[in-house]
Amino acid sequence: MTQASQRFVRLEGCVNFRDLGGYPTRSGKTVRTGQVFRSDTLHLLTANDVTHLRQQLRIGQIIDLRSTGELRVDGRGLLEAEPIRFQHLPIFDGDTAASRHPPAAMDLADRYFFMADLGVQPIGRILTAITEASEPTVYHCSAGKDRTGVISALILSLLDVDADIITGDYALTQERMQQIVERLAADKGYWTAVVTTLPPETLHARPQTMVAFFEKLRAKYGSTRAYVRAAGVTDRAVERLRERLLLG
């Protein structure tokens, strides 16, 4: 286990659940731990996992980035019975042909930018929900890599975390990629309908993908802050996020 690997929260049902805190910022502050978590899908959590989330992590809000179809098929698991605020905020929900079928020639960074650009308003709602949280929050998709990875990168960028650290956080998923692939492959419907339609590089989490994504974002919007403004996230909301999550 590398030092970075210690960021993973040990759970029986999830393999990519980890704390977004602990990173230094360019201004000498530190992102507060125990407040914002990123994860793969939560419906496979065991009773022991749920106890850990409730009693140790004190999770008070879940933001589900999966589509309505994914949620309908896999459900919420044991967490559905818990008194935790639940928000279903999909980036894409099968509502447009473009969202279902991005151009085949796109590489993974292109797809991330496509998602961020076409899904700018849904992403604004997701970021606003996180900025308004007063309790520890976890957001998740199916693998905890793509949709979750883009949201994580945007949050860390808003908190003034260095680009190399942001790309490193994204690439941490690679340590668990084999386990994620095995779990997704066991879901034959999801594997056939989703994974097999994507380019092979989708099954990797390489730093250069996130570097290229930010280059594309800056080329159109100028900066992460300008992008989230376009998404409808106010400057005051960003400042609330920084006030709550930054130490020092």
Enumerate domains of the chain plus CATH numbers: 4-247 (3.90.190.10)
Query: What's the pTM value of the predicted model, to 2 decimals?
Result: 0.92
Of 190 and 232, the one with more pLDDT: 232
143 to 26, 31, 148: CA distances (angstroms): 29, 24, 8
The closest of 226, 237, 238 to 116, measured between CA atoms, is 226
pLDDT tens-place string over residues 63-72? 999 999 889 9
What 3-state DSSP class applies to 208?
helix
* Residue 204 confidence (pLDDT): 84
The whole-angstrom separation of Cα 216 and Cα 110 is 8
* Residue 1 confidence (pLDDT): 36
Of 7 and 241, the one with more pLDDT: 241
Q: Which residues of 84-123 are buried (b: 16+ CB within 10 A; e: fewer)?
A: beebebbbbbeeeeebeeeeeeeebbbbbbbbbebbbebb
Q: What is the mean pLDDT of the chain?
A: 90
